[in-house]
Structure 1
Amino acid sequence: MVTILFFGQLKERLDTSRLPLELVDGSKCLDSVAELRIFLQTKGDVWKENLAYGSALVAVNQQMATEDTPIKDSDEIAFFPPVTGG
C-alpha cells in the first residue's frame, strides 16, 4: 500500500489530503508515477483535470519524480501544484 498526499489547491479541488492505495488491483499493477497518475485520473473529471501531466508535480519519498519514476509498496507519493513566483 502507498500513501498519496495532495497539497495546495489540489487538496481543496480533490476534497482530500490523503489517499491510501493498493498498487495491485486484481491483475493490474501500478509500478510507475505515470501509471498511478493515469489510474487516479479515472476517478472523475476533477481528478483528470487536476492531475493531468503538467498540471501537478509529483514527489516520491520526498524526492522530485518524473513520469517514469518507479513506485513500490510503502512509498509516500505527493502531488502538488506547480510553484510560481513573482
Structure 2
Amino acid sequence: MKDIEVEYYAILREERGCKRESTTTTAQTPRDLYIELQKKHGFSLSIDNVKPAINDDFVDWDHHLQTNDKIVFIPPVTGG
C-alpha cells in the first residue's frame, strides 16, 4: 500500500468536490490510480483526455508510483 497525495483541477475538481486528497492505494502506476479513482468518484473524462504529473514532472501512464508521491491528473483546459 502507498500513501499518495492527489490534486485535482478543472472538471476533475468539480466532479470530486475538492482540490486535493490523500489516498492509500495498491495502484502501481498513474494509469492504475486514475482508473481506481475514476471508478470511485465517477470521473467523466477518459484516460485519453488526461495527462499525469508526479512531483511536478509530466510522466508516462506506466511510471512507477512511490509512497508519498504527489500526483496531478491534468484535464484539458482552455482560456487566456
Question: Scaled by the length of structure 2, what TM-score is found?
Answer: 0.81
* Pairing 1:68–2:62 present: yes
Aligned to 1:30: 27
Unmatched tracts of structure 1, length 5 or more: 24-28
* Pairing 1:54–2:54 present: no
Structure 1 runs (4+) deviating above 4 angstroms are: 83-86
- Bigger radius of gyration, 1 or 2? 1
Query: By how many angstroms is 1:2 displaced?
Result: 0.8
Task: Give the CA RMSD over aligned residues.
Answer: 1.9
Alpha-carbon deviations, 1:24-82, whole Å to 9, x = none? xxxxx2111111111112114x32x23x2122211011110111011111000001212
Unmatched tracts of structure 2, length 5 or more: none
Aligned residues: 78
Aligned to 1:26: none
